Structure 1
Amino acid sequence: MSAPPSVAVCGAASWNQLILLDHLPEPVPHMQFARRSWHTIGGTSAGKALHLASLGVNVRLCSPLGTDAEGQRIRSALTAAGIDVEPLASEQTERHLNLMSDDGKRVSLYLAVPSTPTEHELSIAAEAVAAADVAVERGPRLAVCTRGAEGAIALEASGARHEVSALPADVVDTNGAGDAFMTGFLAATLRGATIDGALTAGAAQARTAVESDHLHPKLSELLI
């Protein structure tokens, strides 16, 4: 039996504080009470890596991480989730504050950004991509567009159009839904699914994300 394909994902992993409000703040001085708040891992690449790992794909994540407490916690949780984490040296770990409302609206405040990677760090990422069977990047053969509650569409270079509806879900947090969709689509494609089958798998994986407080429900066991 052949080994599953390996996927390299290069990009952001962040430490986020999420705050749920009745509505996003108006641009005037005022006070609001948060309905609830929590800390979790964020970042588009971290989300992709988590969902790929949960689908049995060997995934290596190259991401700028500091040696601070946030970076160490991110690395520990993602490693425990089955991801081969390749930290790229950074002066600090990326951090966000996300203000959210029940209707899916969000304002993201960047509290800290990673330092510019050195040539050495870029070479590490390049080596990870070269060693993988698949790298997460854009290509001209197929374009997939997620549309939130309206589902998603895919357009082939030939002009063929495919569409899938969003699945019913008990929405908790919409952060990372698009990344989850992408990984469900990719994992199904790697296993030989048709485009329509991959779209359906993507919709199912997106539901997994939006029904959790985190990018993936696995983090609820690891971030304690």
Structure 2
Amino acid sequence: MLDRLDPLVIGECVADIVRLPGTADRVHPGGSPANVALGLARLGHDTTLLTQLGPDDNGRLIRDHLTGASVEVRTDGAAAATPSAAVTLDAVGRAAYTFEITWTLGPVALDRTPRHVHIGSVATVMEPGAATVLGAVESLRASATVSYDPNVRPELMGDHGAAVRRVERCVALGDVVKASDEDLEWLYPGQDPGRVAERWLATGPALVMVTRGGDGALAVLPGARVAVDALPVEVVDTVGAGDAFMSGTLHALAAHGLLGADGRERLRATDRDTVADVLRHAVASAAVTVSRAGANPPDATELATALDRT
């Protein structure tokens, strides 16, 4: 049975302009936090996204895409152009990005208190908007669990040392943290991802996950590690794969009653079998997304079908 989260996602929307040799550009609604919001809404959660969208074609495209999936989109009314990213794909569908983005999010009054807050990506490191994001999390954390995905974009992270400190501050505020092995390699070159995850766990989170592309995923919880394999799938592209992993994770954690302020202690006491089930949902969600173009996470029926393959 679905445990509805009423989650609040705070972060950027980005128009992903996919460029392939010999073909016309394709514009896909994107942005890591927006993709997570979309994934949660498709899985049945009443999701609010606090973001910025410009009064332009890309902004209208993204808003229509999100509201069409029943995401409630809230903005601070800023009129800057909608952020964009030129996405190029290599021979196996891996994405590389070139960004045009600003992030100036100001405070926005909420009409309900969320049970869960998700943050990540550019929105947590790019000022002046990052200060708004961190302030919101600090004010809501007593009544909501928090998830965080750094979703590192090196060209937007600024000074490396300052970026690492900002990421570690967000990790310490989170209950559930996810990073890719590529994120961790940029943050801590040459260090073992599992060891980094254990170090992060000691700073506050109840669960730290590391995605490893085709090699599956690893979760670290107090006193244990859990690993699952990726599902075999024909990859179209990897755009939004990590975001679908996160929405699948949160959906499964909610189903186990492990999110919301009332679930925090249960989350901290969860066992290996439960975490393994959460990871299975996460990798199945990512597998659906990489099997089709753009950040296109599954709905509940598609996720259930993918889970039947695990």
Q: TM bucket by the smaller chain?
A: 0.7 to 0.9
CA distance in 1 between counterparts of 2:12 and 2:48 reads: 13
CA distance in 2 between counterparts of 1:4 and 1:196 reads: 21
Q: Which residue is 2:207 aligned to?
A: 142
- Which moves more between the two structures, 99-108 or 64-73? 99-108
Q: Which residue is 2:307 aligned to?
A: none
Q: Structure 1: which 5+ residue stretches go unaligned?
A: 21-32, 219-224
CA distance in 2 between counterparts of 1:80 and 1:175 reads: 20
How many residues end up aligned between the 2 structures? 198
Q: Secondary structure at the match of 1:206?
A: helix
Q: Which residue is 2:277 aligned to?
A: 197
Structure in which a larger fraction of residues adopt strand: 1
Q: Per-residue deviation at 1:36?
A: 6.2
Q: Structure 2: which 5+ residue stretches go unaligned?
A: 119-146, 149-173, 175-204, 258-273, 299-310
CA distance in 2 between counterparts of 1:89 and 1:173 reads: 33
CA distance in 1 between counterparts of 2:240 and 2:76 reads: 22
Q: Secondary structure at the match of 1:89?
A: coil
For the aligned residue pairs, the C-alpha RMSD in angstroms reads 2.2
1:12-23 alignment, distance < 5 Å: 12-20=12-20
Q: Which residue is 2:86 aligned to?
A: 97
Contact 2:95-2:237 at 8 Å conserved across structures: no
Give runs of ≥4 in structure 1 deviating > 3 Å. 33-37
1:185 aligned residue (245, 249, 256): 249
Contact 2:43-2:251 at 8 Å conserved across structures: yes
Q: Structure with the greater relative contact order (CA < 8 A, sep ≥ 6): 1 or 2?
A: 1
1:106 aligned residue (95, 117, 140): 95
CA distance in 2 between counterparts of 1:85 and 1:106 reads: 27
CA distance in 1 between counterparts of 2:16 and 2:58 reads: 9
Structure 1 residue 211 and structure 2 residue 291: aligned? yes
Cα distance 1:34–1:72, how it changes in 2: closer, same or farther (>3 A)?
Answer: same
CA distance in 2 between counterparts of 1:211 and 1:105 reads: 12
Contact 1:152-1:164 at 8 Å conserved across structures: yes
Quick one: which amino acid aligns to residue 115 of structure 2? D
Cα distance 1:190–1:60, how it changes in 2: closer, same or farther (>3 A)?
Answer: same
Q: Secondary structure at the match of 1:18?
A: strand
Q: Per-residue deviation at 1:123?
A: 3.5
Query: What is the percent sequence identity of the aligned residues?
Result: 32
CA distance in 1 between counterparts of 2:241 and 2:65 reads: 20
Q: Which residue is 1:7 aligned to?
A: 7
Cα distance 1:133–1:35, how it changes in 2: closer, same or farther (>3 A)?
Answer: same
1:171 aligned residue (204, 223, 235): 235
CA distance in 2 between counterparts of 1:2 and 1:216 reads: 21
Contact 1:47-1:180 at 8 Å conserved across structures: yes
CA distance in 1 between counterparts of 2:27 and 2:219 reads: 34
Q: Which residue is 2:108 aligned to?
A: 123
CA distance in 2 between counterparts of 1:10 and 1:59 reads: 11
Quick one: which amino acid aligns to residue 74 of structure 2? E
Structure in which a larger fraction of residues adopt helix: 2
2:67 aligned residue (76, 79, 84): 79
Contact 1:145-1:152 at 8 Å conserved across structures: yes
Cα distance 1:144–1:75, how it changes in 2: closer, same or farther (>3 A)?
Answer: same
Contact 1:92-1:115 at 8 Å conserved across structures: no
Quick one: which amino acid aligns to residue 209 of structure 2? V
Cα distance 1:88–1:209, how it changes in 2: closer, same or farther (>3 A)?
Answer: farther
Q: Secondary structure at the match of 1:131?
A: coil
Cα distance 1:211–1:37, how it changes in 2: closer, same or farther (>3 A)?
Answer: farther
